[in-house]
Amino acid sequence: MPLLKDHRPRVLVPEKLSSDGLALLRTSLDVDEQKGLSADDLLQIIPNYDALLVRSETKVTATILRAARRLKVVARAGVGVDNVDVEEATKLGIVVVNSPSGNIGAAAEHTIALMMAMARKIPEGCASLKAGKWERSQFVGIEVKGKTLAIIGLGKVGLTVARLAKGLGMTVNALDPYASPAVAASASVTLVTSLSELLASADFLTIHTPLIASTRGMIAETELAQMKPGARILNVARGGTIDESALLAALESGQLAGAAIDVFTSEPPTPETTAARLIAHPRAVVTPHLGASTVEAQENVSVDVCEQVVEILKGSLPRSAVNAPLILPEEYHKLQPFVRLVEKLGSFYTQHYVASPGGSMARNTFDLIYQGEVASINNTKPLFAALIKGLLSPISSAEGININIVNAELVARERGVFVSEQHSRDPADHSSYSSLVTLVARPPSRASSQAPGVSDSSTGTPSTQHQRIISGTCSGDRLLITRLGRFEASFEPEGTLLICENYDSPGKIGVVGSILGHEGVNINFMTVAPVSVKLSAVGSTDPKHGRDDTIDSSIQDDPGSKEALMILGVDRGVSLHVTADLVKEGGILSASAVTL
Ligand SMILES: NC(=O)c1ccc[n+]([C@@H]2O[C@H](COP(=O)([O-])OP(=O)(O)OC[C@H]3O[C@@H](n4cnc5c(N)ncnc54)[C@H](O)[C@@H]3O)[C@@H](O)[C@H]2O)c1
Ligand SMILES: O=C(O)[C@H](O)COP(=O)(O)O
């Protein structure tokens, strides 16, 4: 979406977010900070926004998402997205992004702080002294050095806690079925294979998993009974992983010497509930979900998600989409230009071959061929999504569903569009480009087995209706179309372009110039494309990706042809009657206008 000043996308921020990120947003977007909204308030105003930025307090329910007609992105300034209905967002094509790393250090340090506070009875000593007492003998603690810390969940936070605990001289055991043994070994953590074994070893037990089906209530009465009498427990992950009633009972019975809890099943906890009694227990050290609440972490997550919001609203790739294939940061810069290129190839295809007079969508099976360096990209899902977006956007209403990397496969299936991606590490014959991407629409007869019910009603905009093919390349940020149908081209796919196929005879440029001039359309540049070489080398030689002979048989040279292609960059949209007038002129075989 172009970030025009008059139509600046609007972002709603209903929670406290660090100003560093918001300042980033304000340069190109309208930012509304509205704290204390009720669910109903949010429902009323959400249709006015393109992006929603939240922490853990705002419940982004299916109802909210369905009402959010303009919403492109929900950004969670933190890790956990359990307050966002990600499934519904996915269905609606709304990207959900988070900041998976911005607050790891803060959460890990908070865990250690709670452990030390609990071990040395700091909250109790502090409260007693503030109450005017001097009760040194009441607050004798224990040391953590030499004790065993048992960790459930050796992910980003768990591993950081492990490293800090090793620095304190603790023995660290961990349970995580998905943890890498090599990573655990590098942090001197002993991985155990059963929860019972882990529980029996713990002087301190700390949980660092998400709240998912397998972790909900994973520490309950039975598990607490397996711990050493007088052990201590921590939860800086998610409320609900520890059964609060069982935890309260274990504190009351003395089975546990202490509990340090930052997260609760319901936040804020309702008065008179088990959580409220747990909070009031004298041997519970509690904080109101402060794990991520450091200046540094809030700056990190705010800047991280705000950058992503700007990118998404510009139509670029998010780096941490929760409901999309993860794009590795090192792949990001490599992919970005090709994503733009492939989207333009798709959009060009539809505008030139389908949406122009005489065009049709009859060809719904495409080969997307990566040649040269681009073929080494393994994660091509963003490119696939870009193609679907490019192909369908010119024929979808602006209010229609967003097509993005989240829902592209679903949309393609629904529209009956099939794409076969092919990789070839060898540069194309006749090509001096290090990377080449080619889009080929298969002729209907060949596609018929995959596209039942689709018939070719094409009258073929260009004279060569069997050669629906577009190639392009990138050089840095610069995109170039290198082939269009049978023609070898060299033009940037930017702005409005008029594509005219004509007999290669004198006077054609003058005819086109005069008709455009009459309509007040200025020509910014013009390039002529000669008939191209044949494409026998196009296609995969990589056995992994398979290959058929579709392209060779559909694209053939016509050495006798006297046709040429004129590409004119013009300063405004060219209406259909102008392209029709052009075709009426002798020697102009087809004319179409595309805006990219
Ligand atoms: N209190 C806070 O403010 C705060 C701050 C940051 C993170 N968190 C929470 O901390 C938790 C961990 O965050 P992270 O960034 O380390 O996540 P992560 O995804 O990097 O790590 C989670 C780990 O849990 C493991 N796991 C999943 N199911 C398991 C199971 N049944 N048994 C054992 N291990 C299992 C996974 O394999 C993974 O290694 C999340 O719930 C997150 O929301 C809380
Ligand atoms: O999931 C997270 O990132 C933490 O729980 C922090 O949540 P918060 O942003 O509401 O502090």
Q: Best mutation site among 209, 286, 289, 293 for ligand 1, i.e. most ligand atoms within 8 A of its Cβ?
A: 209
Q: Give yes or no for residue 176 CB within 6 A of ligand 1.
A: yes
Is residue 432 classed exposed, middle or buried when 0-12, 13-18 and 19+ CB atoms within 10 A define those classes? exposed
Per the residue annotation, which of 208, 289, 352, 468 is the catalytic one? Answer: 289
Q: Which residue has the tokens 């004509």?
A: 502
Clarify whether 109 is annotated catalytic.
Answer: no
Q: Give yes or no for residue 78 CB within 6 A of ligand 2.
A: yes
Clarify whether 238 is annotated catalytic.
Answer: yes
Distance (Å) from CA 548 to ligand 2 centroid: 50
Q: Give yes or no for residue 107 CB within 6 A of ligand 1.
A: yes
Q: Give yes or no for residue 154 CB within 6 A of ligand 1.
A: yes
Phi, psi (degrees; rounded to nearest 5) at 489: -125, 175
> Which ligand gives the minimal distance to the CA of 109?
1
Share of the chain above pLDDT 90, in %: 61
Report the sign of the C-alpha dihedral through residues 574, 580, 584, 588, in that order.
Answer: positive
Q: Give yes or no for residue 439 CB within 6 A of ligand 2.
A: no
Q: Give yes or no for residue 84 CB within 6 A of ligand 2.
A: no
Q: What is the mean pLDDT of residues 373-390?
A: 89
pLDDT at 69: 94
pLDDT at 406: 67
Provide the CATH topology of domain 329-595.
Answer: 60s Ribosomal Protein L30; Chain: A; (3.30.1330)
pLDDT at 432: 78
> 109-118, 141-150, 283-292, 454-463 — which is least confidently predicted?
454-463
Could you read off the pLDDT of 544-566 as tens digits, one per residue? 332 233 333 333 444 445 778 89
Judge contact between 388 and 417, C-beta under 8 A: yes
> One-letter amino acid identity for 147?
K
Q: Give yes or no for residue 292 CB within 6 A of ligand 2.
A: yes
Q: Whose CA is nearest to atom 10 of ligand 2?
A: 56
* Residue 539 or 119, more confident: 119
pLDDT at 112: 99
Q: Which atom of ligand 2 is nearest to the CA of 56?
A: 10
Closest CA to 553 of 426, 431, 440, 450: 440
Per the residue annotation, which of 208, 238, 340, 363 is the catalytic one? Answer: 238
Judge contact between 372 and 436, C-beta under 8 A: yes
Q: Which atom of ligand 1 is nearest to the CA of 290?
A: 3
Q: What is the mean pLDDT of residues 2-23?
A: 84
Contacts of 407-410 with C-beta under 8 Å, sequence gap 24+, read 407/90, 407/91, 407/92, 407/93, 408/381, 408/384, 409/384, 409/385
Q: What residue segments make up the domains of the chain, in order of their start?
A: 5-102+296-313, 104-286, 329-595
Q: Which residue has the tokens 């959460």?
A: 107
Q: Best mutation site among 13, 53, 79, 305 for ligand 2, i.e. most ligand atoms within 8 A of its Cβ?
A: 79
Shared fold status for 104-286 and 329-595 = no
Which pLDDT band holds residue 463 (cuts at 50, 70, 90)? Answer: very low
> 310-314, 493-497, 509-513 — which is least confidently predicted?
509-513
Q: Whose CA is nearest to atom 1 of ligand 1?
A: 291
Which pLDDT band holds residue 464 (cuts at 50, 70, 90)? Answer: very low
Instruction: Quote the pTM value.
Output: 0.67
Distance (Å) from CA 289 to ligand 2 centroid: 7
Judge contact between 480 and 492, C-beta under 8 A: yes
Judge contact between 528 and 488, C-beta under 8 A: no
Per-residue pLDDT at 340 exceeds 70: yes
As beta bridge partners, residue 590 has 501
Q: Whose CA is nearest to atom 32 of ligand 1?
A: 176
> Which ligand gives the minimal distance to the CA of 150?
1
pLDDT at 532: 63
> 64-78, 317-331, 488-502 — which is least confidently predicted?
317-331
121: Cβ contacts below 8 Å, ≥ 6 apart: 138, 139, 140, 141
Q: What is the mean pLDDT of residues 283-292?
A: 98
> Which ligand gives the minimal distance to the CA of 234?
1
Per the residue annotation, which of 267, 311, 488, 492 is the catalytic one? Answer: 267
Euclidean distance between CA atoms 140 and 225, whole angstroms? 25
pLDDT at 502: 83
Q: Which atom of ligand 1 is nearest to the CA of 214?
A: 31
Residue positions counted in the chain:
596
Could you read off the pLDDT of 571-580 as tens digits, one per residue? 988 888 888 8
pLDDT at 548: 32
Q: Which residue has the tokens 């949209």?
A: 573
Q: Give yes or no for residue 80 CB within 6 A of ligand 2.
A: yes
Euclidean distance between CA atoms 368 and 586, whole angstroms? 35
**Residues 547-572: b if buried by 16+ CB within 10 A, e if exposed:** beebbeebbeeeeeeebbbbbbbbee
Q: What are the strands, taking DSSP E only, across 328-364?
A: none
Could you read off the pLDDT of 93-103 as tens digits, one per residue? 899 999 989 99
Distance (Å) from CA 320 to ligand 1 centroid: 16
Q: What is the mean pLDDT of residues 126-147?
A: 98
Distance (Å) from CA 576 to ligand 1 centroid: 57
Euclidean distance between CA atoms 508 and 522, whole angstroms? 17
Clarify whether 216 is annotated catalytic.
Answer: no
pLDDT at 561: 52
Q: Give yes or no for residue 162 CB within 6 A of ligand 1.
A: no
Q: Whose CA is nearest to atom 6 of ligand 2?
A: 292
Q: SS3 for 487?
A: strand
> Which ligand gives the minimal distance to the CA of 305?
2
Per-residue pLDDT at 299 exceeds 90: yes
Which homologous superfamily does the CATH classification assign to the domain defined by 5-102+296-313?
NAD(P)-binding Rossmann-like Domain (3.40.50.720)
Q: Best mutation site among 208, 235, 285 for ligand 1, i.e. most ligand atoms within 8 A of its Cβ?
A: 208
pLDDT at 541: 34
* 272: region left, alpha or beta (phi > 0 left; psi from -120 to 50 alpha): left
Per-residue pLDDT at 29 exceeds 70: yes
> Which ligand gives the minimal distance to the CA of 210?
1
As beta bridge partners, residue 563 has 503
pLDDT at 387: 94
Which homologous superfamily does the CATH classification assign to the domain defined by 104-286?
NAD(P)-binding Rossmann-like Domain (3.40.50.720)
Which pLDDT band holds residue 5 (cuts at 50, 70, 90)? Answer: very low
Distance (Å) from CA 56 to ligand 2 centroid: 5
> 88-102, 298-312, 436-450, 581-595 — which is least confidently predicted?
436-450
Which pLDDT band holds residue 392 (cuts at 50, 70, 90)? Answer: confident
pLDDT at 396: 66
Q: What is the mean pLDDT of residues 528-546?
A: 49
Q: At what angle do helices 508-518 and 576-584 cross, to 10 degrees?
A: 150
Euclidean distance between CA atoms 445 and 319, whole angstroms? 40
pLDDT at 149: 98
- Cis omega before residue 268 (within 30°)? yes
**Average predicted confidence (pLDDT) for the chain:** 86
Half-sphere exposure of 198 (CA within 13 A, CB side): 27
pLDDT at 257: 98
